[in-house]
Structure 1
């Protein structure tokens, strides 16, 4: 069991959740305010995407990230900033017998282009999604090839940013360990076990334990489940020695029929952690655990 827990809040994501919840953060100011709310509730880390303010859809516009990060850093609230670098891997395969007629949901760029906002803003952490995945039903694929990942890992290392290795299936974990073996990651590596996304690894005890048992020696790791499995996977991760993630990116509900806020989800997770006899780490303690220098 882990007695000192880093709590990450994933505040908005890029999924189609606008309109499914009364208060999904959309504008940079709304996303920053949600991150600050999570930090005040006790989050150690905030994991941030940005959205197009006009459509609510996920974006990779560096100007939106700049506005978001500037507001968090100028707020006076201490929190570790973790920016996604996963946008730009979306491929909507054409339907039926026309797979090369890519759909309007396609946004596919190279591994280094996905890092433009990281280059500019130098967050303490950014994500590296460690493989390709059938993303839900239909014809959507998230694309992250071995050579894209090698280029991305090398550049993130040169920037002095800590990569959070997002693992959606066992093959992703296998390849992340290959990146470590090739010297493209600094020790200790930081893993995020992302469970319950169709059609990746399911959110259950057997799967989380199998992935934990396959981690390299000395790795730091966290895990989460989506939807109703969010809080069960908080408990499971702590029991298996890991850290945790909650937030509106992964789950919209506090209780049945009760919409969540990021602050309320963090508070619920911390209540669960403390009732298990563990405690959440402050951002300063999280930096010490992860070997990070404060930015901004």
Structure 2
């Protein structure tokens, strides 16, 4: 929601740009795509119609990929606007949607996720057959996940993205990794993301520990931080796939990723092709 092309020149903005980027990422080894919508002025938008344009374009270019839409509370907090992305009707309904399990401060401002908002979004996802992509930024949010499962707000399958290194949340350290992983419910499928210069380190740690990875320009605008070399989404995927293979981890196809996570196979998809999660 933050990058703009003036400072992050390769961030895709229009539906066509996003779909083309997704297709290149799938060719490079990605099995899942986390989508944000932008207006013509590049500002984030919550409007369902824009998400429908994006999803239709993505499905046309990469019909096998797992589609995850955002319900971010960074720019707006009310449930109705945040849930618009869940009601995409064109092409295919998203299989997953992001759900952040607590409030936090980013350098540019807060992301507000009140307990009642989390429960309401989880309920709307459940009603639509959409699996949450649970976003955790510290051990407190991992504890919230356990509570929500005990109170039946959340159920299996449990897929967790753990994001490290944002100012105001957990940094990337062995003690934090151990604490968060220990707090996850048994059977959770988890991935690491890293903010900024922590992205590559977090990805490598996840693969070494048997987990999965999230990469992309949302979290990290640079391929090489010392020289501030601009990144592209496909190049970030290519790099992590290369490192994964060096560690003995092959990228999973989207079909295999669905098996790992526990997602049902969508009836309107075809063409199983290579794609980033592996065992």
Same fold (TM over 0.5): yes
Per-residue deviation at 1:182? 0.9
Distance 1:276 1:128 in 2: 30
User: RCO greater where, 1 or 2, for CA within 8 Å and sep 6 or more?
Assistant: 1
Q: CA deviation at 1:21?
A: 2.1
Matched, 1:29 2:16: yes
Aligned residues: 262
1:146 aligns with 2:132: no
Are 2:218 and 1:249 aligned? yes
Distance in 2 (CA, whole Å) between partners of 1:16 and 1:280 is: 27
Aligned to 1:37, what secondary structure does the other structure show?
helix
Q: Structure 1 residue runs of 4+, over 6 Å off?
A: none
**Cα offsets for 1:167-212 (capped at 9, x unmatched):** 1122211112111111122223111101112211112333222211
Paired residue for 2:231? 260
TM-score by length of 2: 0.88
CA deviation after TM superposition for structure 1 residue 61, in Å = 1.5
Deviation string for 1:14-42 (max 9, x for gaps)? 01443112222111211121112111111
Specify the alignment match of 1:46 in structure 2.
33
Q: SS at 1:280's partner residue?
A: coil
- Asked whether the equivalents of residues 23 and 62 of structure 2 are also in contact (C-alpha less than 8 Å), the reply is no
CA distance in 2, matches of 1:126, 1:268: 26
RMSD: 1.6
For 1:131 and 1:226, the matched residues in 2 are separated by 17
TM-score by length of 1: 0.84
Q: Which runs of 5+ in 1 are unaligned?
A: 1-13, 91-105
* CA distances 1:57-105 after superposition (whole Å, capped 9, x unpaired): 221121111111001112254211111111xx24xxxxxxxxxxxxxxx
Give structure 2 stretches of 5+ with no counterpart.
269-279
Q: Secondary structure at the match of 1:286?
A: helix
Shift of 1:268: 0.2
SS at match of 2:18: helix
**Equivalence for 1:205:** 174
- Contact map agreement 1:253 1:259 (CA 8 A) in 2: yes
2:81 to 98, 113, 116: 113
**How has the CA–CA distance of structure 1 residues 277 and 76 changed in structure 2, closer, same or farther, with 3 Å as cutoff?**
closer
Instruction: Answer whether contact 1:235 1:273 (CA < 8 A) is retained.
Output: yes
**Shift of residue 294 of structure 1?**
3.8
1:68 equivalent among 54, 63, 68: 54
Equivalent residue, structure 2, for 1:78:
64
SS, match of residue 82 in structure 1 = strand
Q: What's the CA shift for 1:245? A: 0.6
Match of 1:239 in 2: 208
Give the structure with the larger strand fraction: 1
Q: Residues of 2 paired with 1:25 and 1:75: CA distance?
A: 15
